[in-house]
Amino acid sequence: MEIRTRTGAYEVRIADFSQAMEALPPGSHLVTDENVAALYGHRFPKGRPVVAVPAGEASKTLERYQRVVERLLELGADRGSVIAAVGGGVVGDLAGFVAATFMRGVRLVQVPTSLVAMVDSSVGGKVGVDLPSGKNLVGAFHPPELVVVPIDALETLPRRHLANGMAEVWKYAYILDRELGERLESFDTVPSGEQMAEVVARCICLKAEVVEEDEHDRSGRRAILNFGHTVGHALELLTGYGPLLHGEAVAIGMGAEAKLGERLGLTPRGLSERIRADLERVGLPTSHELLRRPAALVAAMRRDKKAEAGVLAFSLLTDFGACRLVAGVSEADVECALMEACGA
């Protein structure tokens, strides 16, 4: 697969872990996390420098960024080096931001090992770190020169993180691809093996199509990817980014936003129930006690950086596999939909 950007194009290849390691160009410095290093470190190419950061979102900070850069310097990295991000979305975003800025920018290869990283963060060129005042507040657009997806790495991904990534997979189906959705519904649970390779490839194509139309997130096209995210981000904010994984919050959000679409007469009746059944089958949550506090959630949505001047905008389904951006939804409608989504 090839993804076009303003400055050129890059290739996305579905492979296995060994092939991904063989594909790393000369001069690669691997950046990974400690979990991935423990599982796969013995398969990293011999003699290549490796920087391993602690696993988890807590590594996406400016402090950690600085330590990685300093470590790369100690290891002899220079302007001709290539940063190879081998890990989940945290490693991809952090190492990608290092690549965007180290010596004013060096080449980047993404080797995404979590499902989230495969279908979402490794494609699209967004890289960055968090600040104490919010997630992803510092960053850059720095497309990789190559993405190699080691699909067999999913075999070691913990079940909860697999389900977490499935939330984004379902999202692509709901907003853009009915055929993918029906295929996913034909599996009992999370697809595996060949099926998963096909599903991941399809999601990457869908994301690439949207991103190519709106690389720098300006035209609004990219905003359709936010289905489930307006409510999801508010849930993450109010729960303090701990108990709910992003995909779990988005799963609850997709159910609630489908209800909102139904309420506004945009989404076919009954689709929200179908979505909840789909998501529950792969082990994702679809309800949360905070849905009973709709006013607090709406207040959090208004504070979201994506809500321009406090106007609530949603990517809402117009069918199974189609969506449209809707701005200026009334807070009363949102609150009613949230209450309906928790079954009240």
Ligand X SMILES: NC(=O)c1ccc[n+]([C@@H]2O[C@H](COP(=O)([O-])OP(=O)(O)OC[C@H]3O[C@@H](n4cnc5c(N)ncnc54)[C@H](O)[C@@H]3O)[C@@H](O)[C@H]2O)c1
Residues that bind ligand X (CB under 6 A): 33, 35-36, 39, 55-57, 60, 87-91, 93, 113-114, 116-117, 120-121, 124, 126, 136, 153, 156-157, 161, 164
> In the complex with ligand X, which residue's Cβ is closer, 14 or 291?
14
> In the complex with ligand X, which residue's Cβ is closer, 120 or 340?
120
**Torsions phi, psi for 306 (to 5 deg):** -85, -15
Per DSSP, 241 falls in state S
Q: Smallest distance, Å, CB 186 to ligand X?
A: 25
Q: Smallest distance, Å, CB 330 to ligand X?
A: 29
Show the tokens assigned to 211: 């991103």
Q: Smallest distance, Å, CB 152 to ligand X?
A: 9
Nearest to 164 by CA among 75, 285, 245, 51: 245
Q: Smallest distance, Å, CB 260 to ligand X?
A: 23
Q: Smallest distance, Å, CB 213 to ligand X?
A: 16
> In the complex with ligand X, which residue's Cβ is closer, 32 or 286?
32
Q: Give the chain's end-to-end CA distance (angstroms, integer).
A: 46
Sheet containing strand 2-5, edge to edge, reads 2-5, 8-15, 146-150, 107-112, 82-87, 28-33, 50-53
Q: Smallest distance, Å, CB 316 to ligand X?
A: 21
How far apart, in Å, are the Cα atoms of 135 and each of 63, 117, 149? 15, 17, 25
Q: How many CB atoms lie within 10 A of CB 287?
A: 16
> In the complex with ligand X, which residue's Cβ is closer, 152 or 331?
152
Nearest to 144 by CA among 7, 273, 260: 7
Per DSSP, 119 falls in state I
Q: Smallest distance, Å, CB 2 to ligand X?
A: 19
> In the complex with ligand X, which residue's Cβ is closer, 52 or 334?
52
> In the complex with ligand X, which residue's Cβ is closer, 167 or 313?
167
Show the tokens assigned to 15: 């492979």
> In the complex with ligand X, which residue's Cβ is closer, 247 or 261?
247
- DSSP per position, 196-232: HHHHHHHHHHHHHHHHHHSTTS-SSGGGGGGTTHHHH
- Report which residue's Cβ sits closest to ligand X: 89
